[in-house]
Chains A and B, each alone.
Chain A
Amino acid sequence: MMERKLKLVSEEHSQDAFSNSDDELMLLSAAGRVDAFEALVARHYAMVCATASQYLGDDGLGKDVAQDTFLSIWNHCRHYVPAGRFKSYLVKVMFNFCHMMARSHKADRNRKESFHREQITRISTPDAPLDVLMRSEMGRLVQEQLVRLPQKERKVLLLRYGQGMSIAEAADLMDIPIGTAKSHAARGLKRLHKKLKRKSV
């Protein structure tokens, strides 16, 4: 299995790093190919940054987490086992950095204020039509309540609805049974709905 992968990613067959799979790019990165790693970052940066930003409720912290995540993956790429689960590995590393960031920056305390400031700037553009403003306000409320959810429910919701994955995919990335992922999603949705209802009342 390993030999087949290594053969695939030999220098002569992989001049164009962007056409390779994640595993192949990781193997090339382990061989010191920075362009391969660049392709990997370009492929997943937006997903990592968006999810981390939503998870922490702060775009700045999300960017920091994305950077830390990719640097950590680069530093440990020699130990990566190419088993077709790069995305799962990436998501795990990202959430670990999210937890560390939340602890070290006390994001839980500050996220509400920073998020408020950002959203107010966004929705107060003079040309914004009413439905756009309404949607922005709804989005702000949802994001505000999202960061208050328990970690497991927040993760499943972000992967399932934030990234548009299926429940099975989200469960696979989080290494949990599908039934458990469904339960987390259902509880998270119900909790969000309840909080939003209370807010709107």
Chain B
Amino acid sequence: MKCLNESQMSRYFSGDISRREAEAFGKHITSCQRCLSLGNEFSQIATQLKSDNAAYHSGAEIHKIVTIIDVGKANTISIRGPRIDRMRALWAVAAALIAGFVVGAIWLGVKKKDADTADVNDQFHARADGAPNGDTFVSLQIFENKNGTYQRVSDTISPSASLAFKYKDYSRHPYRYLMILAVDETAGIFWYYPSYIDALTNPQSISLRAQKGEFQLPDEVSHKYTPGLIDMIAIFSRTPLHVQAIEQDIARRMKLRPDVKRLEQFNIRGAAHYVKTLKVETKK
């Protein structure tokens, strides 16, 4: 058998040869001085590689590690929940997406419904000779109590009419406050909402629901009117208005232009008003 080269010897030492080869190498090495010497060299390398583990055993180092790991940290670790697996995370994301889609669809549906309602109200006009000014989405309906039944007032009321009201508000942002009053030809003012009896007080507009829709006001109010024309006025506003301020404004305007029979304009910022002229006459 030929002498072993470096590769063969290293394979022999690491066991990377067949059993037959190993037996043949073993026999040869014992009889060949050169191969024996080469084998010794490899043996020495292997010996030198051997680690002296005992030299590295250090009680102080072990204690140091254990000191770092205190019981508090152990408790902290023990309360950690299990890691969320990938499939569960994917399901969660999918569920969130579906939920988002459903909510979005519902929201779009609601928006469309609002838009449809707005379209309908674009066509809304006050009946009879009522003319909404400033905002076509607000209106007032007047009912007169006639022997216990309420009849819609179109153009005439009796001098002692007891009136009830219903208002409509379909504006994009419904108004929050309302005043209802009437002004006759002699600049006499009749208040329905708010109630204004004591001249020493200065009540303000009544609060509304601030919702789109048609709402009935609770009270029925009666005054003694003088025959002639009378303007029924509803003032919708974003902020409460005071009775005395409105009265002063009406008096000023009537004084400046005594010939004006109808109060078509109120210069109140952020307010919409509705004016309907009725005729007060004694029933024939």
A residues with a Cβ closer than 8 A to B are 30-34, 37-38, 41-42, 45-47, 49-51, 53-54, 62-63, 66-67, 70-71, 74-75, 77-79, 135, 138-139, 142-143, 146, 157-158, 160-164, 167, 179, 182-183, 185-187, 189-190, 192-194, 196-197
**B49→A50 contact, CB < 8 A:** no
User: B86 on the interface (CB 8 Å rule)?
Assistant: no
**B69→A34 contact, CB < 8 A:** yes
State which of A41, A53, A74 has its C-beta within 8 Å of the C-beta of B56. Answer: A53
* Chain A hits for B48, CB < 8 A: 135, 138-139, 142-143
Q: How far is the CA of A186 from the CA of B55 in the complex (A)?
A: 28
**A54→B51 contact, CB < 8 A:** yes
Q: How far is the CA of A146 from the CA of B52 in the complex (A)?
A: 16
**A186→B68 contact, CB < 8 A:** no
Q: Which of B45-78 contact A (CB under 8 A)?
A: 45-46, 48-58, 61-62, 64-66, 68-71, 74-75, 77-78
**A190→B6 contact, CB < 8 A:** yes
* Chain A hits for B156, CB < 8 A: none
**A34→B61 contact, CB < 8 A:** no
> B14-40 interface mask toward A, CB cutoff 8 Å, 1 = contact, 0 = none?
111000000000000000000000000
* Chain A hits for B56, CB < 8 A: 45-46, 49-50, 53, 62
State which of B41, B69, B74 has its C-beta within 8 Å of the C-beta of A71. Answer: B69
Q: How far is the CB of B175 from chain A (nearest CB, A)?
A: 63
**A41→B65 contact, CB < 8 A:** yes
Smallest CB-CB A-B distances: 6 pairs: A185-B14, A182-B16, A32-B74, A161-B49, A190-B10, A142-B48
**A71→B68 contact, CB < 8 A:** yes
State which of A135, A142, A182, A194 has its C-beta within 8 Å of the C-beta of B14. Answer: A182
Q: Which of B63-103 contact A (CB under 8 A)?
A: 64-66, 68-71, 74-75, 77-78, 80, 83
User: B44 on the interface (CB 8 Å rule)?
Assistant: yes
* Chain A hits for B16, CB < 8 A: 179, 182-183, 185-186
Q: How far is the CA of A74 from the CA of B61 in the complex (A)?
A: 16
Q: How far is the CB of A155 from chain B (nearest CB, A)?
A: 12
**A193→B10 contact, CB < 8 A:** yes
**B6→A50 contact, CB < 8 A:** no
A-B contact count (CB 8 A): 128
B residues with a Cβ closer than 8 A to A are 6-7, 9-11, 13-16, 41-42, 44-46, 48-58, 61-62, 64-66, 68-71, 74-75, 77-78, 80, 83
Q: How far is the CB of B154 from chain A (nearest CB, A)?
A: 83
**A187→B69 contact, CB < 8 A:** no
Q: How far is the CB of B81 from chain A (nearest CB, A)?
A: 10
**B77→A51 contact, CB < 8 A:** no
* Chain B hits for A187, CB < 8 A: 10
* Chain A hits for B83, CB < 8 A: 79
Q: How far is the CB of A8 from chain B (nearest CB, A)?
A: 20
State which of A32, A157, A193 has its C-beta within 8 Å of the C-beta of B78. Answer: A32
Question: In the complex, which residue of chain B has the Cβ closest to the Cβ of A140?
Answer: B48
A-B contact pairs, 12 of them (CB 8 A): A32-B75, A34-B70, A45-B62, A45-B65, A46-B56, A47-B53, A142-B49, A158-B51, A179-B16, A182-B16, A186-B10, A190-B9
Question: In the complex, which residue of chain B has the Cβ closest to the Cβ of A74?
Answer: B69
Q: How far is the CA of A109 from the CA of B54 in the complex (A)?
A: 28
Q: How far is the CB of A47 from chain B (nearest CB, A)?
A: 6
Name the residue among A38, A75, A186 with the largest chain B CB count within 10 angstroms. A186
**B61→A66 contact, CB < 8 A:** yes
| A193 and B66 in contact, given A157-B49, A182-B14 (Cβ under 8 angstroms) | no
**A167→B65 contact, CB < 8 A:** no
